[in-house]
Chains A and B, each alone.
Chain A
Amino acid sequence: MFDPERSYPYRRVGDHSSLTTNRKHVEHLTIYQFNTEKYPYLIEVERYPCQIYVFKFYRRIHKKNKQRFNLMTNEGKCSRIVGTCFSIFLSIYEKNPLASFGFLGAHTIDTQQQVVEPKNETRRFVVYRQAVQNYFGMNTFAHFSNPENSIYLAISNKNKDVANIAEMANTMIEQLLDL
């Protein structure tokens, strides 16, 4: 279902260092673009310390929208889009086996329907978690989750200090979410 073999063709459209991203803790930001049958999308891949790569995607038209991660496109292409993220991560992992995969399942805000979803265990988090657990095994990754904030992190077992990386990630999450 989320198979990268069915991923959309993508291309890199942006590279930013920590100086130009101006995002806390982000060491590098790479932006990819792909097109579904209907819309162009952007995937932002943020590299955090300890080779943690966090994937975020949204419709290109929402690029300037502060709620771009919270909007539903209702296009019904979630599985292929997530598969595209997996495909990009696999290409990163091939070059860097210490790479870890993370995501935050943003809560949905639908202003037309006048609904807002709580931030804990969001629908996106539940779907992405299922996809990661289906495709990324426990031999290669140690799996960590934070359902209260809908965050998931699969840390590469090639790292010697997996527990320390998880602890460091916790500290970063606290700072980023201002908990």
Chain B
Amino acid sequence: MGKLTTPFNHKKDVSINVASVRPANTTKGHLAKVSAEEIKARRVAAYRYLLP
């Protein structure tokens, strides 16, 4: 399969071979608690909770 480019990350034009595509990050991810402040900042208050 041919080389693919990624338009999603505009920092640099990276060529990726689909056959061997791996996560852009190579660091080990970890589930971290989302703070109440972060949720409040991101949440659109107009929507009502399905569960409070």
A148 and B50 contact, Cβ closer than 8 Å, known pairs A115-B6, A116-B4, A118-B9? no
Of A118, A133, A139, A179, the contact of B8 (CB 8 Å cutoff): A118
Are A123 and B8 CB-contacts (below 8 A) given A133-B42, A173-B29? yes
* A136-B50 contact, Cβ under 8 Å, with A118-B25, A145-B32: yes
Residues from chain A with a CB closer than 8 A to the CB of B18 are 109, 111, 116
18 inter-chain pairs at a CB distance below 8 angstroms, sorted by A residue, are A93-B51, A109-B18, A114-B2, A116-B4, A118-B6, A118-B24, A129-B42, A134-B43, A134-B44, A137-B51, A140-B52, A145-B31, A145-B32, A146-B30, A149-B23, A153-B31, A169-B31, A174-B28
In the bound assembly, the distance between CA atoms of A146 and B4 in angstroms comes to 26
- Hey, which bits of chain A sit against chain B, CB under 8 A? 1, 4, 86, 90, 93, 108-109, 111, 114-120, 123, 129-130, 133-149, 151, 153, 166, 169-170, 173-174, 177, 179
CB–CB B51/A119 < 8 A: no
Separation of A142 and B33 alpha carbons in the complex (Å): 7
Q: A130-B42, A147-B29, A174-B28 are in contact. List 6 more A-B contacts (CB 8 A).
A: A111-B4, A115-B5, A144-B34, A146-B31, A166-B33, A170-B30
When distances are taken between beta carbons in the complex, the residues of chain B under 8 Å from A137 are: 49, 51-52
- Give the chain A neighbours of B36 by CB distance below 8 A: 138
Query: Residues of A contacting B43 with CB < 8 Å?
Result: 133-134
A139 proximity list for chain B (CB < 8 A): 52
Closest to B18 in A: A116
- Write the nearest CB–CB distance from B9 to chain A, whole angstroms: 6
Q: Which residues of B contact A109 (CB under 8 A)?
A: 18, 21
Question: In the bound complex, what is the Cα–Cα distance between A64 and B43 (angstroms)?
Answer: 36
Q: Which residues of chain B come closer than 8 Å to A145, judged between CB atoms? A: 31-32, 34
Q: Per-residue CB proximity of B8-52 to A under 8 Å, as 1/0?
A: 110000001010011111011111111010010011100111111
Nearest CB on B from A99, distance (A): 11
Closest to B16 in A: A116
A86–B23 contact, CB under 8 A?
no
CA distance A82 to B8 in the complex (A): 22
